[in-house]
Structure 1
């Protein structure tokens, strides 16, 4: 942590105390932060400061969908977790808690921060749940590079590949390098897609996962950086129907739907793609509603985003924020570059049973 962090830290502490009149002595807290930075090069947020910073960051990020009560967002403080297996196990627990039987629960889970000589872990995946994309065009084409990289690191796709094969979770630490973990299938809630008025639509075999947990953005609060801080709200229908399923760069099923509808696909001027995309979005909203899984539509979200643009705060180094750097974006799509140059030369996927055992141990400790 560089010396210029001190004014950023002080500004954040003042911001926190201005929002919490019961937080105690501001001068005493600033003196404590100064002493910590002078001694260690960094400082530790209090539990309340961390929760406040994570909530403000999510509120101001633009990723907080309409209806999310950001002041009551659950913030899971797991700053003591630095080992890959522990981080992966708690990512699975995040999915379980967030899914909540379909009534999606917005969460933020914060793992160990970067500190002088001790960088925190990172999660490579763009979201905890992503589908593989293969060179023959099967699956999500956005992740063809990531899928190929995972295979080079030891991941083996199912013998019978499908459009919706779950990619492994990749957690990288300085002392372990990148490690692969197989997500337990029972923890991944998926919604089969059908159309409200087109009976044949369900025969296409389309589906999508219920919870969008963004996992490769860095949470920055008052000069302290948390490189692994997965968070979620819930899906906007168009993120699935338009950006993932219809888009030629992803699944590209708009043409398949258009042909099934008997539309003229000889020219874009017939607007066949637009009509097919409307049907895909209608199917997503209908299916999530039928499965009782929380979702919002892009019209409601447009109004929310407009209100957000009008009210958002001017960004500054001290304001909490979720940030994405170019290296993290590249890792999410291409499976490289590794964050740490001393990463392991070879890794193997960790079995589902290992994560399940970790979760059983955690639950037994909690209930003890």
Structure 2
């Protein structure tokens, strides 16, 4: 039996996790999957209950699970927790580090039903289908030394260290190339090699790995500022993009607007064995938390990625994706992707609609 650990977290996390678990239960029942579900606290909710944003019990359950689903972490209530005590440092980065989840996969696919939701012209976004592979447990977010200090003249300054080792670069480039082999065999490596020594090394290592290990892959290099421009100017030129932790964080959020909403983008973070944590990229959205307005489709699509990459159930992944297309074809929209002529629904209603669409597809397959 394989166990999914659900970590609802904060903000809209509990709402979207509830809908995702509904879909997981429907899959378990409809396809007779050998799944078990567990849950634990993380983030602000865990801090309030235990004094620790990433409690030992949650760590143990994450280690024991086959895959981890994370709703969201953070919110204004916990803004007083800063530096090493911040929720993001303790819970989010801590969970990624504990799982060894170094490869963050962020698909950027424009649904044909949502082209009008994008702020860009149809001819720019129609047909966009790329994936950003972000190095997730190295770089400037984890580098040491870091902190705040007072200089000799009495001014305070903050400092962070950008560090990448050869093995860290090699493994994420290999992950990107392996994915590219299932797609169009094109990889774009994004760096800042013109001014940063760490990323000069990144470029050298990426070039060597592709040349020596993946001769069938076409590799291009882009400086990050040019990559950001090209992502908006001509996104269809990209197939697989691989980049650093910070650049991947920024570029994938920018890419979300190609699709019209952060609420449509799932993600996976995998370790060397394929075990991973899965989460929508939109964050905790505290401004709409508890109002039944959040879009659960990114989290439901993250479940599809989990079925594909960690649970060995590609058929279930395809069922989820088809069900999401079905509800969009039916004109159902949450507020973030609403457009004229469509029907606006709540978080719960969207989740129920995906479950209903899933049931139809499962029964059709059975017959």
Is the TM-score greater than 0.5? no
What's the TM-score once normalised by structure 1's chain length?
0.29
| TM-score (normalizing by structure 2) | 0.29
Larger radius of gyration: 1
Quick check: which one's strand share is greater?
2
